Amino acid sequence: MAVTGVLRPGFVQIRVMDLDEAIVHYRDNLGLDLVRQKDDFAYLRAYDEFDRHSVVLRQAEEPGLDVLGFKIISDAALADFAKRLNEMGVKTDDIAAGEHCGVGRRVRFSVPTGHVIDLYAEMELSDNGPMTKNPDIWREEPRGMRISRFDHCAVLGVDIAASAEIFEKALDFVVTERAIDPEGNPVAIFLTCSNKAHDIAFLAGPVDAKLHHASFLVESWNDVGHACDLIAQRNISLDIGPTRHGITRGQTVYFFDPSGNRNECFAGGYQHYPDNPVREWTVDQLGKAIFYYEKEVHARFTSVLT
């Protein structure tokens, strides 16, 4: 499948309450490389990412999500998306190149659930990215949980249908899967800009602008198990797992960073193509949809948000 507009989730900026402690977690436990630390910010990347960084940590008084960035194929496409957003009545702001380290011009907007989204076409390449000439499978042996890339975010708010509509109509995302209540209202919407099972998920909740989790791809079910071993050995706060989703079919473990932001190690999931119908779950089967083996959702998974 040709990806021609929005390429992928490019970076996530997460608020943390102790930057040094957070760096230890994301660098040593997840296995990301620390690219730069400056003032209240730290920039990190995974071993299989070409771009300069994919995770930004910001020192703050409370945890949560600052902004989610999506990389666009070209400046021309970036300008077109800005025009389409404006035509939908979505206000956009231009952010000059360089205001975010290593990133070109950005188009910023907010969705009805209160989440801030950045679109950009340019980011500096990493000095230590994947090899491209007679390449080994990795330049240096992966560390920690062996994260290969930042994969997606699940965010929570009230009017998820309106937020998803912006992604569909202005940015050409498609819905792969959703869960609905008895009246047909969505309680979860999973969207992709590629052929992944999802690149962003909107979850219905009573408050806006909340982060449910930031997800990081690992290579296999064995790597999910390896992450669980580290979670136990290093006394990382476990949420749930190892287990599997019904929605997306992904294999997973959820845990928390030291500030209480939920992380996920994710493997597998089906491939989506444009001619695929939308998969749909009803709320009476939501336990199985979220945790396929356990068939129930524990209270912490729905109540702990940042």
67-71, 101-105, 255-259 — which is least confidently predicted?
Answer: 101-105
Fold identical between 6-120 and 150-303? yes
pLDDT digits (tens, 9 = 90+) for 148-185: 999 999 999 999 999 999 999 999 999 999 999 999 89
Integer Cα distance of 12 and 66 in angstroms: 8
Over range 1-15, report the average pLDDT.
Answer: 89
List active site positions. 152, 198, 213, 245, 254, 264
Integer Cα distance of 50 and 10 in angstroms: 11
- Which pair of structure tokens corresponds to residue 269? 């999931």
Ramachandran assignment for 65, one of left (phi > 0), alpha (psi -120 to 50 degrees), beta (any other) = beta
The full DSSP string for 38-78 is ETTEEEEE-TT--BS-SEEEEE-SS-EEEEEEEEES-HHHH
Identify the pLDDT of residue 5: 94
Is the CATH code 3.30.70.980 the one for domain 150-303? no
Higher-confidence position of 1 and 87: 87
Strands 279-282 and 174-180: parallel
* Helix (H), strand (E) at residue 202: strand 200-204
The band of 263, judged by pLDDT with boundaries at 50, 70 and 90, is very high
For the chain, give every domain's residue range.
Answer: 6-120, 150-303
297 pLDDT higher than 90: no
Identify the pLDDT of residue 302: 84
4 pLDDT higher than 80: no
Identify the pLDDT of residue 16: 98
pTM of the model: 0.96
Identify the pLDDT of residue 276: 96
The band of 59, judged by pLDDT with boundaries at 50, 70 and 90, is very high
Over range 16-24, report the average pLDDT.
Answer: 98
74-88, 122-136, 289-303 — which is least confidently predicted?
Answer: 289-303
Q: Residues with Cβ < 8 Å from 149, sequence gap 6 or more?
A: 46, 48, 49, 54, 216, 217
Fold type of domain 6-120: 2,3-Dihydroxybiphenyl 1,2-Dioxygenase; domain 1 (3.10.180)
Identify the pLDDT of residue 3: 75
The band of 1, judged by pLDDT with boundaries at 50, 70 and 90, is low
Integer Cα distance of 190 and 248 in angstroms: 9
Identify the pLDDT of residue 2: 60
On average, the pLDDT of the chain sits at 96
Over range 182-208, report the average pLDDT.
Answer: 95
The band of 209, judged by pLDDT with boundaries at 50, 70 and 90, is very high
